[in-house]
Chain A
Amino acid sequence: EPEVTQTPSHQVTQMGQEVILRCVPISNHLYFYWYRQILGQKVEFLVSFYNNEISEKSEIFDDQFSVERPDGSNFTLKIRSTKLEDSAMYFCASSVWVNIQYFGAGTRLSVL
């Protein structure tokens, strides 16, 4: 069964460093999303992406964040200068339409 894959599974970085989280969505999907989940808290929407541009973003998704689909398969989330409070699980999701979103297993980001 096709699945969304995310790499790495765990990323440790120093505060102030840039990180890139990678996702390979399901191949025929058209909509792509990033979410984050701080330990013990709700899943929070970050951004949705369609037709090579951001379709919606939350207030969390400030200038420190960017997304890119550099080729036909990868979808990346970049955090320019990480802060301690960026430590969380980051989930990528994709969907054919805006109905059923399939989630990856997540990347645990630890900012030290």
Chain B
Amino acid sequence: KNQVEQSPQSLIILEGKNCTLQCNYTVSPFSNLRWYKQDTGRGPVSLTIMTFSENTKSNGRYTATLDADTKQSSLHITASQLSDSASYICVVSADSNYQLIWGAGTKLIIKP
């Protein structure tokens, strides 16, 4: 069964600190993996998208990694800011399929 699991469920860190969020998936055949940021009450916003051949992709202070062999991805946030407080959702797309398989998200809270 195609699934995306994320950990931790929630995370609280101090402003300025770094953090890493995890995503494990069992989606086959794999097409791409995306990380979205969702502010409370808003729609998801794409941070990164990676295909099978990509190991790392950065978007400002966000760096995503992908290990297609172990079916794991991580999202690293550097020098966190209060505005990083949001849910971060890992989404995997199966090949030739419009449908995205969504993780439950990690709720990140940045405290001053």
Contacts and interface: CB of A to CB of B under 8 A. Distances in A.
Interface of A: 4, 31, 33, 41-45, 48, 50, 55-56, 58, 89, 91, 93, 98-106, 108
Contact of B98 (A48, A100, A105): A48
Nearest to A91: B43
A76 B103 CA distance: 26
Contacts of B42: 105-106
Interface stretch (B12-20, B44-52, B60-68, B77-85): B44-52
Given A42-B104, A45-B100, A98-B98, A105 B49 contact: no
B43 A103 contact: yes
Contacts of B103: 42
> What is the interface of chain A mostly: helix, strand, loop, or mixed?
strand
Contacts of A99: 32, 49
Contacts of A41: 104
B41 interface: yes
Given A91-B44, A104-B43, A45 B99 contact: yes
Given A42-B104, A55-B98, 4 more contacts: A42-B105, A45-B99, A100-B49, A106-B42
Nearest to B4: A42
A106 B46 CA distance: 15
A99 B51 CA distance: 10
